[in-house]
Amino acid sequence: MREVSIIGVGMTDFGKFVDTPIEELAKRALWDALKDAGVKPRQIETAYCGNMLAGRISGHYSCMAEIMFDQAGIVGIPIVAVENACSSGSTAFREAWIAVASGLYDIAIALGVEKMTGRLAAPLMREKNTMEGVMGFTMPGVWASRAKKHMETYGTTLEQLAKVSVKNHGNGCLNPRAQYKKEFTVEEVLDSPMISEPLTMYHACAIGDGAAAVIVTSSEIAKKYSRNPVKVAAVSLTSGTYEYLRDFTSHDLEKRAAKQAYEMAGIGPEDLDFAEVHDCYTIAEVIRCESLGFCKPGEYPVLLDEGKWDLDGDFPINPSGGLLAKGHPIGATGVAQIVEVVQHFRGLAGARQVQGAKVALTHCSGGSYKGDTGACTVSILKK
């Protein structure tokens, strides 16, 4: 396998852009990535597009990926649409990485794009043969149950969960691309409207629109295009085991994905400088960081109280603002996490810059089936 490096990134603002077509979002991110890399559309040899809802919201039931890449003149090459729930974009990035690492292609691009504002033709969870479908168990209900179990098992408090939201919204205020730029207090988080007891509205991320793109090539070829390429040290992808009787306060597939990524990169969690983690709910950041090995089970809230995960702490989590503040246009999220890390490594993250960062991890999980998560990606990048 060849070593792979990132030479170009592009990203739109995240937000609710009701009057902006999904094609326009894709075009902006793609052209920004091409310009950043100094690569022409015809030099792209293969392309992958992560998206979950284009068929149901934007009407692109077929050839969605081809339509998106046509916006930047990327045509006539192998183009693949990737749907993997919230991991759609990060899975597209993994496929682009494999394409180059294998030696089959020299330059590949991964696009993540989603438009969630518009008419949703059907609920996101409608399968009648799943535990969630039978019980009417929506994602807020799933995470509320996990929050209650974590609180019962480890003594985690609602105030500690609210601090996750406070931290991430504070970081989001420093991110010009973030959907929300508003600070909250613990009291404001706790007093916001209830969505699924004990989680209130500010414990959850919101729907949104956006796109992000990343261009990768071999590290040898990267020298021709960039003076500061970012190395892809590892990318892993796992799926759930769907066992009903299991620990609800941790994620086995995330433990396995992290283990694979650490082994591939030849490092451990103690070697990381910061991480971008899929915090769709405040409790999700807690459980996932514990599952990724950043701390022992039950310790994340305690270390949160001590400031370890703050932007100026020992190990910043979600300096971008995370999904809670930056936003979560599903297909774009995983690719946007990669863009965030590249910006920090280049010293271009502005007021949220993690100083001296050289190694970072991105994590994106998605989907729910039989009470388990469907897919998990973990990437480790090095400066």
Average pLDDT of the residues of the chain: 93
137 pLDDT band, cuts 50/70/90, is low
Structure-token match 């019980």, residue found: 135
The residue ranking higher by pLDDT, 210 or 129, is 210
Residue 122 DSSP class: S
The reply to whether 112 and 143 lie within a common domain is: no
Tally of domains within the chain = 2
Query: Does the residue 369 lie in any domain?
Result: yes
Find the mean pLDDT for residues 283-301: 98
The reply to whether 93 and 145 lie within a common domain is: no
Find the mean pLDDT for residues 3-15: 98
Find the mean pLDDT for residues 89-98: 98
The reply to whether 311 and 263 lie within a common domain is: yes
The reply to whether 253 and 268 lie within a common domain is: yes
Find the mean pLDDT for residues 363-383: 91
Whole-number Å distance between alpha carbons of 236 and 233:
10
Alpha helical stretches, state H, the chain: 22-37, 64-70, 88-101, 131-135, 139-154, 158-172, 186-191, 219-222, 252-265, 282-291, 300-305, 322-325, 330-345
Query: Does the residue 61 lie in any domain?
Result: yes
Whole-number Å distance between alpha carbons of 129 and 370:
9
Among the residue ranges 157-166, 298-307, 371-380, the one predicted with the least confidence is 371-380
List the catalytic residues: 86, 328
160 pLDDT band, cuts 50/70/90, is very high
Among the residue ranges 129-143, 148-162, 270-284, the one predicted with the least confidence is 129-143
- What pLDDT does residue 26 have? 98
What is the SS3 assignment for 195?
strand
Residue 264 structural domain: 131-205+233-382
134 pLDDT band, cuts 50/70/90, is low
Query: Does the residue 126 lie in any domain?
Result: no
